[in-house]
């Protein structure tokens, strides 16, 4: 069996680096075909080595993801820039391992419509990988509900903390997962769970009102599927992204020794709690945006991206992130879900948040 040739978009980021460690661990199974890096150049040989943003990089990335010798594209660049290459890879019938949840949030209908075969898109997000694993072998009609687990982030367990006074350091101090700054802040606002709800809706074609969120601070249960007969399946493991990454590459096989087994005897209590929607409005906003459909989820996503960047620059308080998103959704006049309209919604939200920031600062 020849090795799977993998192109990584976002090779210098957290997921990209962990993917490279998985690839290096199974050299007979995987081979690096191409690398797109962001911040820094990687000193690692690959057939394609592209630095995002360099002149001509767009054409090189397109050539890489559609190349006949590329088997699978791991999409792990945050944000809207990942959308074009993902659509091109799917159009070229490549397998796509999707770590960038924004793609399904913004353009779920478009992307899923283009995905041919049931395993063309393989989730890398830990919750979605868990749902995917629980759904293997199950008929869609047997599924009654999906339950996404949320660690709750650093502030869920501290109800006394005033969210407007949260500092950048506090928000970046996630209790369970080590991730990039954008997704860590999204976990603290719980917008990450809102985005994941929309992602799950498209990926598994389950209506929004049949997807719930439950807080699980230990991050051992990665998500749960409930079935019509009253049974439920959950996927458990140590919080380690190498597991969903390896599975997205090796599906339908499981590779030996990807992560150490879960120490069940020492785990102690696993807690599950309801989410307080009054304290974290982000999940409600995401549900509303998804229910309105069209370009609304793209507005939610772009406004959040812009507002998180402003928070990381100390330009707005932590609680301003959700306020900025809410303001953009209220102001958006609406739009359909063609690629042009999605990108226009994205643009609208960024402009709106920028002018909102000007007013907040003034």
Cβ at position 196, least distance to Mg ion in Å: 6
Query: Strands, DSSP E only, in 261-352?
Result: 273-274
Q: Which stretch binds Mg ion (CB under 5 A): 31-39, 73-81, 91-99, 118-126?
A: 118-126
**C-beta of 126 vs 327, nearer to Mg ion:** 126
What is the distance, to the nearest Å, from the Cα of residue 298 to the centroid of all Cα atoms in its chain? 14
Q: In what order do the strands lie in the sheet with 232-236?
A: 232-236, 221-227, 143-150, 211-215, 273-274
**C-beta of 135 vs 343, nearer to Mg ion:** 135
Contact flag: residue 226 with Mg ion (CB under 5 A): no
**C-beta of 243 vs 328, nearer to Mg ion:** 243
Contact pick of 22, 38, 80, 125 for Mg ion (by CB under 5 A): 125
Rounded to 5°, angle at Cα 92 from 115 and 78 = 65
Cβ at position 129, least distance to Mg ion in Å: 9
CB half-sphere exposure, 117, CA atoms < 13 A: 11
**Which residue, 15, 1, 2, is CA-closest to 248?**
15
> Radius of gyration over alpha carbons of the chain, in Å?
20
Residue 193 near residue 185, CB atoms below 8 Å: no
Q: Which stretch binds Mg ion (CB under 5 A): 48-56, 125-133, 150-158, 313-321?
A: 125-133
Q: Which stretch binds Mg ion (CB under 5 A): 14-22, 126-134, 207-215, 348-356?
A: 126-134
Contact flag: residue 127 with Mg ion (CB under 5 A): yes
Cβ at position 246, least distance to Mg ion in Å: 16
3-state secondary structure labels for all residues of 43-90 = CCCCCEEEECCCCCHHHHHHHHHCCCCCCEEEECCCCHHHHHHHHHHH
Q: Which two tokens stand for residue 92?
A: 């070229």
Kind and range of the H or E run holding 183: helix 181-189
**C-beta of 126 vs 304, nearer to Mg ion:** 126
What DSSP character marks residue 173? Answer: -
The pattern of x and - marking residues 47 through 66 that bind Mg ion according to CB under 5 A reads --------------------
Cβ at position 131, least distance to Mg ion in Å: 11
**C-beta of 191 vs 289, nearer to Mg ion:** 191
Q: Which stretch binds Mg ion (CB under 5 A): 51-59, 86-94, 117-125, 265-273?
A: 117-125
**Residue number of the CB atom closest to Mg ion:** 125
Cβ at position 132, least distance to Mg ion in Å: 12
Q: Which stretch binds Mg ion (CB under 5 A): 85-93, 123-131, 137-145, 198-206?
A: 123-131
**Which residue, 205, 197, 238, 203, is CA-closest to 219?**
238
The pattern of x and - marking residues 71 through 110 that bind Mg ion according to CB under 5 A reads ----------------------------------------
What DSSP character marks residue 239? Answer: S
CB half-sphere exposure, 301, CA atoms < 13 A: 32
Cβ at position 121, least distance to Mg ion in Å: 16
Q: Which stretch binds Mg ion (CB under 5 A): 109-117, 120-128, 247-255, 350-358?
A: 120-128
Q: Which two tokens stand for residue 261?
A: 């087994």
**C-beta of 194 vs 294, nearer to Mg ion:** 194
Q: Which residues bind Mg ion (CB under 5 A)?
A: 125-127
């Amino acid at each position: 069996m020849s090795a799977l040739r993998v192109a990584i978009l976002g090779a210098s980021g957290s997921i990209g680096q962990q993917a490279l460690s998985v690839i290096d661990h199974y050299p007979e199974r995987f081979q690096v075909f191409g690398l797109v890096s962001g911040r820094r150049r990687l000193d690692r040989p690959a057939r394609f080595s592209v630095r995002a943003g360099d002149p001509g990089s767009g054409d090189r990335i397109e050539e890489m993801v559609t190349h006949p010798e590329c088997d699978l594209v791991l999409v792990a660049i945050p944000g809207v820039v990942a959308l074009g290459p993902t659509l091109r890879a799917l159009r070229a019938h490549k397998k796509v391992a999707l770590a960038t949840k924004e793609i399904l949030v913004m353009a779920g209908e478009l992307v899923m419509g283009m995905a041919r075969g049931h395993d063309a898109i393989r989730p890398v997000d830990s919750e979605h990988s868990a749902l995917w694993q629980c759904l293997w072998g199950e008929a869609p009609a047997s599924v009654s509900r999906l339950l996404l687990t949320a660690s709750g982030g650093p502030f869920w367990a501290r109800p006394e903390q005033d969210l407007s006074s949260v500092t950048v350091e506090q928000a970046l101090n996630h209790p369970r997962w080590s991730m990039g700054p954008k997704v860590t802040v999204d976990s603290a606002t719980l917008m990450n769970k809102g985005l994941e709800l929309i992602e799950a809706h498209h990926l598994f074609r389950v209506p929004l009102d049949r997807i719930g969120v439950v807080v699980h601070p230990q991050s051992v249960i990665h998500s749960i599927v409930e079935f019509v007969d009253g049974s439920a399946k959950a996927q458990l493991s140590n919080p380690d992204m190498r597991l969903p990454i390896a599975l997205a590459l090796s599906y339908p096989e499981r590779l030996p020794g990807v992560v150490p087994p879960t120490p069940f005897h020492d785990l102690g209590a696993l807690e599950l709690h309801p989410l307080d929607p009054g304290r974290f409005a982000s999940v409600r906003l995401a549900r509303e945006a998804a229910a309105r459909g069209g370009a609304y989820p793209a507005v939610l996503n772009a406004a959040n991206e812009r507002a998180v960047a402003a928070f990381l620059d100390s330009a707005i308080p932590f609680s301003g992130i959700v306020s900025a998103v809410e303001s953009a959704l209220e102001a958006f006049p609406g739009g359909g879900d063609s690629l042009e309209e999605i990108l226009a919604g994205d643009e609208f939200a960024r402009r709106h948040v920028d002018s909102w920031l000007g007013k907040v600062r003034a």
